Structure 1
Amino acid sequence: MERTAFSPASCFSLLALVLLGTRFVQGFIFWGGATRRLIYNFHEVNGADVAVKLDFESAKFVANKLTHALPGTLWIQSPLEWTLQYPDLIIASVWIWTLAELAVGLGLILGLATRLAALVSIGLNVSLMLIFGWMGSTCLDEWTMAVSGLAMSSAVFLAGGGTWSLDNLIGRSGWAERNGWTAWVFSGPLPVGSVRTAALVLAAVAVVFTVGSYHLLFGAVVSPQHARVSFHSHDIALSKAAVAADGAVTFDAYVDAGPDTGAAYVIAARLVDASGTTVAAWDGAVLAALPTTAIRNVYPYVWASHFKTERVGFSGQTGARATITLPPPEGATAEGAPHELILEAIDGTTWKAKVVP
């Protein structure tokens, strides 16, 4: 049987052809994310069409996803919280991310600066994992997207764009051949030794990224399965509970777990003494009647996660932080010093905090 001799150029062209669908899919994912904000989600506001996902004053502003994701972010929670304190920085970050997604999406779909686009895609997928990897009620949605995206982008980076790419047209000009570095940005053959090394490094990164993030977020690698931060049930972390001279109670609350599609609903609160006896209580009607000044949300933006009053009690979305003040209770007992604050959820779940003397 006669063997076909492959040149380096033909090998890379074949690899790129094999990955053509992969390149397109990964590109379309980012293209779709950017265009949903830039092109396809305009609503009429005061007689003008506005891209609501990029409108800071809209409840649908895309940064709302950041406040929902904060409780489970890996290692970068503090920088994100700092960013969310400055509206101009939030807007700039959203636009930079959107334009990066647009450029990467177009680059991969069209095969323009394919390797650079794939490299940036790797960075975007790592960022998505750090921020959103813990979220997803079915099939570990965000984690699956991020690890798959990193592996796909790594393969496209190694193969380049091949014949079916704008890079191929650029390569015909001869300019790319005269500048060796261009192959690492656009497409075309790379030194075999460099490809072997890059392939092993990227494979190792993909394995560590996949197994390591899975273990950090969900266990089930060298430990029993457990969620680092639960996406299935809400939790409210309480702190700095203090009782004023008139009996009013102030505390900090943070919804640090749970699905972003719902909220934690609090229908009752009480103070108990060291023996567990209730010394003051607030029912759902009292909590629902709290004035707006009694709930001071850390993130006041219309699109951010908030604590707010409901028909019965009050609620907090995932990621909401607030300082809440309960009014002096009626019918409080004179016996026993307040020892602990307890909030009760609509499903019977309770959250507790020691009262600061």
Structure 2
Amino acid sequence: MTTTTLPTGNAPATGADHGWRVAAIGLLAVRFVQGWIYWGGATRRFIYGPQKLNPHDHWMAYKFQTAMPGALLGTDHIVAYLLQHFYLLYAGLLIFSAIELVGGFMLLVGLYTRLAALATIGLSTVLMLLFGWQGATCIDEWTMASSNFAMGVTLLLVGSGAFSVDNWMLSRRPGLAQKTWFRWIGGSLPLPLSDAAFKKFALTLLGISVVFILSTYNYYRGSIVTPFHGGPVSPSKHHIALDHGVLSADGSVYFHAYVDAGTPATPSHVMRAVLMNSKTGQVIETWGTSVLAAMPESNFQNDFAYQQFKAGKFGLFGGVGAMATIHLPSMTAGGLLPPGQYVLSLTSVNEHVWKLPMDLEK
């Protein structure tokens, strides 16, 4: 592959340079859009909406927590750990945003283009693993991450060519054309590979892209070798997982709840809780909307400081990713429950019901 500087402006190009120049001009829109996506996301936090990085406001940690239910490859445990360690969480979100800011700017102006493209590949991979499951109608987050991944791979291979700071630097310092590091991280020249090696490298990246994109798509929605499905974690229908139930003899209940599915745009509301004998069906305790709405904060031991379970106008509510141990006090005066098997059921405002079998505490 040639090491000649690609012409700028309207200067003619011939031979091997011509193909790279045409490709670079053709990909200007791709480079701009990829750069703007990350630059725009970062500037919204650093400049135009700084409350997104203000821990005393409704900041990025809330969005970060909503990733937990569907995060892949164990990244939900990483999210949970960071949420419980504020300084690591804040540093991580700042670093991620800074990479978006710098990487996006570098793509916009064509500065060390291949290095910036590699950074955006990493960012899109992280976003896919964390948020790829979200998007109730068009798996929006998967679409964004997969598109950014493909654009990053393309820019890594082709670079920026003409109309870039990389090319301007090369015109000022022609000796950079002989520097292997510049050809790998810059974008004004082809990669320092033979045609055969470049083809092998490009096909390898294509294979990685195909496997990454299709495997995540099949996991989230099927429609490749299996029928369409709504995903192992629903991005539209709220679900509350219940466990660690403790039933006291006086009828009071403790249980752990986790909003492990649904849209992050709205919380899940529980308007009624009922304790009944699972064999006879006899209702033992009922906590209606007014009772749940009046519960004090002390009845909620939330696992995290951001998305939480709370009492609200329509009973209890919790956003996606919220986890808490909840105490429902006894509503009947006196009397002890006889030994037996019981079940607690929670009913949401849209009539979804979640149940938890409970044994009487000994």
TM (normalized to structure 2)? 0.90
The one-letter code sitting in structure 1 at the alignment partner of 2:178 is R
What secondary structure does 1:231 align onto?
coil
Aligned counterpart, 2:190: 189
Is the contact between residue 342 and residue 357 of structure 2 (CA under 8 Å) also seen in structure 1? yes
1:178 correspondence with 2:178: yes
Aligned counterpart, 1:89: 88
Aligned counterpart, 1:33: 41
In structure 2, distance between residues paired with 1:109 and 1:194: 28
Is the contact between residue 37 and residue 54 of structure 1 (CA under 8 Å) also seen in structure 2? yes
Q: How far did residue 289 of structure 1 move?
A: 1.3
Is the contact between residue 250 and residue 337 of structure 2 (CA under 8 Å) also seen in structure 1? no
What secondary structure does 1:193 align onto?
helix
Aligned counterpart, 2:113: 114
Aligned counterpart, 2:237: 233
Aligned counterpart, 1:355: 358
In structure 2, distance between residues paired with 1:141 and 1:262: 17
The one-letter code sitting in structure 1 at the alignment partner of 2:328 is L
User: Structure 2: which 5+ runs fail to align?
Assistant: 1-11
What secondary structure does 1:319 align onto?
coil
Q: How far did residue 330 of structure 1 move?
A: 1.8
Is the contact between residue 279 and residue 338 of structure 1 (CA under 8 Å) also seen in structure 2? no
In structure 1, distance between residues paired with 2:206 and 2:110: 23
What secondary structure does 2:269 align onto?
strand
Is the contact between residue 251 and residue 336 of structure 2 (CA under 8 Å) also seen in structure 1? no
Is the contact between residue 70 and residue 131 of structure 1 (CA under 8 Å) also seen in structure 2? yes
Q: How far did residue 165 of structure 1 move?
A: 0.4
1:9 correspondence with 2:14: no
Aligned counterpart, 1:311: 313
What secondary structure does 1:39 align onto?
helix
The one-letter code sitting in structure 2 at the alignment partner of 1:344 is T
In structure 2, distance between residues paired with 1:106 and 1:198: 26
The one-letter code sitting in structure 2 at the alignment partner of 1:111 is G
Aligned counterpart, 1:284: 289
Q: 1:210 aligns with which of 213, 224, 234?
A: 213
Q: How does 1:1-357 map to 2 (within 5 A)?
A: 6-41=14-49, 51-59=50-58, 61-75=59-73, 76-172=75-171, 173-187=173-187, 188-190=189-191, 191=193, 192-226=195-229, 227-275=231-279, 276-300=281-305, 304-330=306-332, 334=337, 337-357=340-360
Q: How far did residue 348 of structure 1 move?
A: 1.4
1:175–1:354 Cα change, 3 Å: farther
Aligned residues: 341
Q: Which runs of 4+ in 1 moved over 6 A?
A: none
What secondary structure does 1:80 align onto?
helix
Q: Which moved more, 1:102-111 or 1:278-287?
A: 278-287
Q: How far did residue 6 of structure 1 move?
A: 4.4
Q: How far did residue 193 of structure 1 move?
A: 2.6
TM (normalized to structure 1)? 0.91
Q: How far did residue 5 of structure 1 move?
A: 9.0
RMSD, matched Cα: 1.8
In structure 2, distance between residues paired with 1:125 and 1:52: 24
Q: How far did residue 64 of structure 1 move?
A: 1.3
In structure 2, distance between residues paired with 1:312 and 1:156: 50
In structure 1, distance between residues paired with 2:52 and 2:13: 53
Q: How far did residue 175 of structure 1 move?
A: 3.4
Is the contact between residue 341 and residue 359 of structure 2 (CA under 8 Å) also seen in structure 1? no
Aligned counterpart, 1:44: none
What secondary structure does 1:347 align onto?
coil
In structure 1, distance between residues paired with 2:152 and 2:108: 12
Is the contact between residue 170 and residue 176 of structure 2 (CA under 8 Å) also seen in structure 1? yes
